[in-house]
Structure 1
Amino acid sequence: MAVKIGIVGMNGIGNLHAACYKEDELADLVAVCDVVKERADTAAAKYGVKAYYSLKDMIESEPDIEVIDVTTGGIDNGSWHFEPAMEAIGYGKHVLVEKPLCHDIREARELVAFAEKKKVYLGCNLNHYFTPPAEKGKQYIENGEIGELVYCLAKMGFNGGEANYGPAGSGKVKGHPYFHMKAFLTHPLSVMRYFCGDITHIQTFSDRPGFRRNAGDVMASINSIHLKFANGGVGYLLSQRGDAVYGLGGWWSLEMAGSKGTFCIENCVEKISYWKAAKGIPAISVQPEPEVTDYGTNDFNRTFNHRLHAFLEDVSNRVPFEELRANGRDALAVLEYTFAVIESYERGGEMVRPHPLPPLHGDPLFLK
């Protein structure tokens, strides 16, 4: 049976989620909500559902709704997530939240704890690893074709350069030095954690180019981040917000190298290449031919369909809470990393250990 859904926040992302649900056989979009009446009414007419202007009214008028999808934005794209998510959980509804999980790390910790207390599913739209290339990469890992992690290199951001720059006009961005870190780092950090495991040490060097400085732009838009994983591997993440034109690999590339093989994903959804370690490979100059799986697409928006469908599958199948894919704890982990990045930057590049995650308790209904 299809899962009944209500969406709160009908700007761009909310409409993108709604369009995905209308295509999905597991979804039954019942209602939409926005404090801006025009946005709610327009979306309701477009998708053939009821419009509401407060979350309370939507939930109490539509008691059969099972999932509240929080697609509100706010400062740093996340300051309007906590309140509606907490309200929905208080009603006993399952919740999916856009990234980042919250704008404030203390709110994020409280949100995850509240969902666990109320025994509801809390998921986050960590959509960058809900792709065929990521699935193939995971298979390489699980089949033992990567071996022991040596390093992980990620480059994710935006193409741009000085000629394309324009100062931000929105109060959600303007004057907020950590907009790029909070609004975007969730994605590359979640992908790196998905493949390589928990991160234990972070060191950051961040800055902004002269053309931003001259415009009075305070955003720390260039992020150079060194990482150490719990399994002993090391990592590096480069992310920038349109300060340069990207070269090889495009706007999104990730390379995971191990003792038995290496894979590289390009442009998130496009293709994955795999190089197998073998005796006799020259140390330099000559590279063996990789196994390349090209998926013939660069349509990034399909990641939303894949991720939302996975959430609905997990809710429909009543999976154990801790087995929910891209769950609240996963989203909290990468937000803890983001705040460690900020702390390292504020300390002039000192190494920082992220705040520990809450302990796993296990659900007695599932854990044998």
Structure 2
Amino acid sequence: MALKIGIVGLNGIGNHHARCYQNEELADLVAVCDVVKERADEAAAKYGVKAYYSVAEMIEGEPDLQVVDITTGGIDNGSWHFEPAMQAIGYGKHVLVEKPLGHDIHEARELVAFAEKKKVYLGCNLNHYFTPPADKAKQYVDNGEVGELVYCLHKMGFNGGEENYAPAGSPKVKGHPYFHMKAFLTHPFSVMRYFCGDITHVQTFSDRPGFRRSAGDVMVSINSIHVKFANGGVGYLLSQRGDAVYGLGGWWSFEMAGTKGTFTIENCVEKVSYWKAAKGIPAISVQPEPEVTDFGTNDFDQTFNNRLHAFLEDIENGVPREQLRANGRDALAVLEYTFAVIESYERGGEVVRPHALPPLHGDPLAMK
């Protein structure tokens, strides 16, 4: 049965979500909401739904509304998430929040705690591992074909370089040194955590290139991040915001290596390769032939459809809240890592331990 949905925030991402819902059998988009009246009205006409200009007005005007999708942005792409999400949860609605979960870590913690108190589903659009290559790679992990984690390497960011640079004009970006960290690191950290588990230690060396300095751009756009996982493995994340052109692997590549095998995912949605750590393989020079599964697409936009479908499917199936895929606690975890990155940078590269996550209590009706 289709779930009745209202979208809050009808700029680019909000419209993208709306188009996804129009092609989703589990979705019934019934309302749109934006404080900018013209945006709400235009979206309402486009999707054949009713326009509202405040969250309370939308929820009270749509008594059958079940899900509120928060696609607002704000400073660092997240400062307008907290208030509408808290309002919707206060009304007892299930909520999906665009990434990052929040702009302020204290607000994010409060949001997750409030959703737990109200016993509603809180999800976040951590869409980068809702892909066929990620599913295939997870099979390798779950089947024991990777073994004990040795390391992971992740590159994710934007191609660019000095010739492509233009100073940001938006007040949501300009003058905010941690825009890239807060707006983007949620994605690569979510992928690393999905495959490798919780991160216990973070160390970063970050900076910005000379052309940004000359332009008076304060964004800390180059992030070199070393992590340790709870299972003892180590990882490395490189993310930069258009300061260079990526080489091998392109803008998105992930490699996980274990004692029994290694896999890589290229271009998020494109393909996965697996190398088995078989007896007798050459130690150097000659690389074994991998098992390659090519999914024949470069269409990154499919990740939105996949992730939104999974959120609605989990609600429809009534999964325990802690088993909701890409839930609020998952989104809080990767935001805690981001704030640990910021702290490490501010301390000159010191090792930082991310703030502990709230404990899991479990639903007594589901855990029998």
Same fold judged by TM-score > 0.5?
Answer: yes
Matches of 1:240 and 1:313 in 2, distance apart?
Answer: 34
1:101 aligns with 2:97: no
Q: TM-score, normalised by structure 2?
A: 1.00
Number of the residue aligned with 2:84:
84
Number of the residue aligned with 1:361:
361
Number of the residue aligned with 1:136:
136
2:116 aligned counterpart, secondary structure:
helix
1:89-138 deviations in Å (ceiling 9; x for gaps):
00000000000000000000000000000000000000000000000010
Consecutive unaligned residues in structure 1, runs of 5 or more: none
Matches of 1:67 and 1:353 in 2, distance apart?
Answer: 35
Number of the residue aligned with 2:117:
117
Matches of 1:162 and 1:189 in 2, distance apart?
Answer: 27
Number of the residue aligned with 2:73:
73
Q: Which amino acid aligns with 1:351?
A: V
Q: Which runs of 4+ in 1 moved over 6 A?
A: none
Q: Which amino acid aligns with 1:168?
A: A
1:176 aligns with 2:176: yes
1:2 aligns with 2:2: yes
Offset, 1:262: 0.2
Offset, 1:219: 0.3
1:64 aligns with 2:61: no
Q: Which amino acid aligns with 1:89?
A: I
Matches of 2:342 and 2:201 in 1, distance apart?
Answer: 13
Q: Which amino acid aligns with 1:18?
A: A
Offset, 1:29: 0.2
Number of the residue aligned with 1:346:
346
Number of the residue aligned with 1:264:
264
Matches of 2:2 and 2:278 in 1, distance apart?
Answer: 49
Number of the residue aligned with 1:166:
166
Residues paired across the two proteins, number: 368
1:336 aligns with 2:336: yes
1:250 aligns with 2:250: yes
1:115-165 deviations in Å (ceiling 9; x for gaps):
000000000000000000000010000000000000000000000000000
Query: Cα RMSD over matched residues?
Result: 0.3
Number of the residue aligned with 2:39:
39
Number of the residue aligned with 2:188:
188
2:192 aligned counterpart, secondary structure:
helix
Percent identical pairs in the alignment equals 86
Matches of 2:272 and 2:329 in 1, distance apart?
Answer: 28
Matches of 1:363 and 1:35 in 2, distance apart?
Answer: 37
Offset, 1:266: 0.3
Number of the residue aligned with 2:13:
13
1:248-287 deviations in Å (ceiling 9; x for gaps):
1010000000000000000000000000011111110000
Q: TM-score, normalised by structure 1?
A: 1.00
Matches of 1:292 and 1:105 in 2, distance apart?
Answer: 40
1:154-213 deviations in Å (ceiling 9; x for gaps):
000000000000000000000000000000000000000000000000000000000000
Matches of 2:63 and 2:99 in 1, distance apart?
Answer: 26
